[in-house]
Chain A
Amino acid sequence: MTALAVAWQILVAVALTPVLVGVMRQVRARLEGRVGAGVGQPWRDVRKLLAKEPLAAEGAGPLMSAVPVILVISSLVSVALVPLLGIATLAWVPDDLFVVVSVLLVGTVALALLGLESGTAFGGMGSSRHMMIAALVEPTVLVAVYALSVPVGTTALSSILQARMSDPTTVISPVSLLALVALSIVVLAETGRLPVDNPATHLELTMVHEAMILESSGRDLGWLELGSWLRLTALLGLVVNLALPWGVAADLGVGATVIATLAFSVKLLIAGSMIAAAEVFLAKVRLFRVPELLAGSFVLAFLSVTASYLLV
């Protein structure tokens, strides 16, 4: 029964992810005065890419086609582990904070290897930037969620979420607000959004994520796109559920699951639209100022941990 719930969660996440990206692009297009390609465009793009044969650069090794698969698997596992729809989790894989962060890190490292594998200058440059950002992001994610775990006494995400659902006052406590702001900043950095990375850039020198996938094509590129978007769903889904824990299914009943699916879709799409609207006002920050931004978010997370011991 739990396995069925987790399978449903993966299915919802995979179906919702292209819609999320489509909504984000559409909001941006409308604000820029354009008509936009429509919400279904990312899904059409991925479907077309998956049907195309990949071309590998001369001298590129087996990682070119292995990394996209690794990235998708790591994203799917994290989507399965993060409590997006319900707090029921598989008994044999803990939905522990450290497990989720490690699973995401597998995808991060795989992407960095892909950038090096193609052997182009831009790929390696993207990989080094990607690892720099990852090294600054991971501690903040761990510390911020750790702050939320202190009152609960466990680092299992479902238990944290359950505690927040049963006692809504913890959601607006200083600890929670500081941790959520810190988490939001690092989620933007981890998923390659503005102001850390520009997903629509054509200038190789400013690229981070795009630089690593420049040499991938066809089916490989399709899996890479889907894998990176699923990371966005997992991380953004975690943040919206921690910020607004209402609607998450407390049991495995059909009614609760339907409500949870609807509530999660609405929360995720609204959060995505808000990010896209905010991005219209933002420019990408200079690469050497990214550590300042991420150090700021780490400070917030650290203050949150301190507050969680002092204010409770």
Chain B
Amino acid sequence: MSALDIAKLLRRVGRITETDTAASPSDYTPPAALAGSVQVRHVDCGSCNGCEIELAGAFGPVYDAERYGARLVASPRHADVLAVTGAPTRNLAEPLRRSVEAAPRPRVVLAIGDCAAGEGAYAQGYAVVGGVADIVPVDLVVRGCPPPPDAIVAALRQVTGK
């Protein structure tokens, strides 16, 4: 694809992002230090990759979580929010604990999907410990199997407050 073709494509596509919806009211009070700016580290501790696709969608051009001040980062050291997906397996319980410990305070643990909430298709499996809450303290839960991207964006907006 030549540069000219890309330029034409950019022109034709224009703005992809869906229009802004009002933030849903909630009783969750996020740490004040995180207002307006939240770096998210995704931690997969045994997911089927369904939630991964939806999480990628939440940060893609259509849902654009970045407009609310949330951004994906490459290291838990840079993160304020740990977005945990999947049914935590025995092997990944300790790495999850360490990932959360590696994030500087104040930090928020966001459990994404029914598996992370302790239910769903793989609950009570022999390799599954339980929910994310059985391993690390969880602040927010997004339900769904998998949860739609706008539900993930809504949860992130509760943290950024935008």
Contact = CB atoms under 8 A, between A and B. Distances in A.
Contacts of A216: 77-78
Nearest to A219: B104
Interface string B99-138: 0001111100000000000000000000000000000000
Given A31-B10, A36-B66, A37-B69, A217 B36 contact: no
Interface string B43-73: 0000000000000000001001011110111
A221 B74 contact: no
* Among B64, B72, B80: residue with most chain A CB under 10 A: B64
Contact of A202 (B6, B10, B13, B72): B72
A35 B17 contact: yes
A34 B69 contact: no
Contacts of A53: 104-105
Interface string A193-221: 00000000110100100100011111001
Which range holds the interface residue count of chain B? 20 to 34
* Among B36, B77, B102, B105: residue with most chain A CB under 10 A: B77
Interface string A23-35: 0000001111111
Contacts, number: 87
A196 to B, nearest CB: 18
A55 interface: yes
Contacts of A284: none
Contact of B15 (A33, A41, A45, A202): A33
Contacts of B15: 30, 33-35
Contact of B13 (A33, A48, A210): A33
B9 to A, nearest CB: 10
* Among B14, B34, B75, B103: residue with most chain A CB under 10 A: B75
Contacts of B22: none
B33 A221 contact: no
B6 A280 contact: yes
14 contacts: A29-B66, A30-B15, A31-B10, A33-B61, A41-B37, A41-B69, A45-B71, A48-B80, A52-B105, A53-B105, A210-B74, A215-B75, A218-B104, A281-B6
